[in-house]
Amino acid sequence: MTTRPRRPDAGPTALLLALLLIAVCAACTGGGPRGTDGDGGGGTAAGSAAPDDVTGHIVVASGRDVTGKNGIRQQLIDAWNLREQRRNSGFRARLVELPGSADEQRSQLLGALQSRSAAYDVVNLDVTWVPEFATADLIEPLPRDLVDADIIPSVAGTAWWHGKVYAVPFNSDVGLLYYRRDYLKRAGVERPDVGDDLTWDGLRRLVEALDAESAPDAYEKGWTTQLAAYEGRTVNAVEAFASAVPDLELVDGKGRYTGDVAELTDGIAELRRRTETAYTLQDAHSSDEDASLSDFAEGRTAFLRHWPSEYRTLYRTFSEDQLGVAPLPGRAVLGGQNLAVTGVSQRKGKAAELIRFLTGKESERCLLEAGFAATRTSAYEGSGGGERCTAVGPGPSASPTGEGADPVPRDAGGRPDYARDILLPALRKAVHRPRTPLYGAFTQTFTTRLGPLHGDGVPSDEALAGQLDKALRRALPH
In this prediction, what percent of the chain has a pLDDT beyond 70?
86
392/354: higher pLDDT: 354
Q: Say yes or no to pLDDT of 198 above 80.
A: yes
Mean pLDDT of 148-172: 98
Number of H helices and E strands in the chain, helices first, is 16, 11
pLDDT band at 387 (very low <50, low <70, confident <90, very high): low
160 - beta bridge partners?
Answer: 165
pLDDT of residue 386: 56
Q: What is the mean pLDDT of the chain?
A: 88
Contacts of 213 (CB under 8 A, 6+ apart): 186, 187, 188
pLDDT band at 46 (very low <50, low <70, confident <90, very high): very low
pLDDT of residue 393: 60
The CA distance from 181 to 183, in Å, is: 5
Q: Say yes or no to pLDDT of 2 above 80.
A: no
pLDDT band at 220 (very low <50, low <70, confident <90, very high): very high
Q: 342-355, pLDDT tens digit by residue?
A: 999 999 999 999 99
pLDDT of residue 190: 86
Q: 256-283, pLDDT tens digit by residue?
A: 999 999 999 999 999 999 999 999 999 9
The CA distance from 52 to 99, in Å, is: 32
pLDDT band at 197 (very low <50, low <70, confident <90, very high): very high
Mean pLDDT of 329-343: 98
Q: 277-322, pLDDT tens digit by residue?
A: 999 999 999 999 999 999 999 999 999 999 999 999 999 999 999 9
Mean pLDDT of 40-63: 73
Residue 13 CA: distances (Å) to CA of 309, 369, 392:
25, 18, 8
DSSP 159: G
pLDDT band at 404 (very low <50, low <70, confident <90, very high): low
pLDDT of residue 50: 80
Q: Say yes or no to pLDDT of 69 above 60.
A: yes
Residue 442 CA: distances (Å) to CA of 138, 213, 234, 475:
20, 43, 9, 7
The upper half-sphere exposure of residue 197, i.e. CA atoms within 13 Å in the direction of its Cβ, equals 2
pLDDT of residue 401: 40
Q: How far is CA 459 from the centre of its chain?
A: 34
Contacts of 358 (CB under 8 A, 6+ apart): 36, 73, 76, 77, 80, 170, 339
- Listed in sequence order, the DSSP H helices in 102-199 are 102-115, 130-135, 153-156, 181-186
- The pTM assigned to this predicted structure is 0.87
Q: Determine phi and psi for 164, rounding to 5 degrees.
A: -125, 150
In this prediction, what percent of the chain has a pLDDT beyond 90?
77
pLDDT of residue 379: 96
Q: 354-379, pLDDT tens digit by residue?
A: 999 999 999 999 999 999 999 999 99
Mean pLDDT of 372-390: 82
pLDDT band at 134 (very low <50, low <70, confident <90, very high): very high
pLDDT of residue 12: 44
Residues in the chain: 478
Q: Say yes or no to pLDDT of 170 above 90.
A: yes
pLDDT of residue 103: 86
Q: 410-459, pLDDT tens digit by residue?
A: 999 999 999 999 999 999 999 999 999 999 999 999 999 999 987 778 89
Q: Say yes or no to pLDDT of 115 above 50.
A: yes
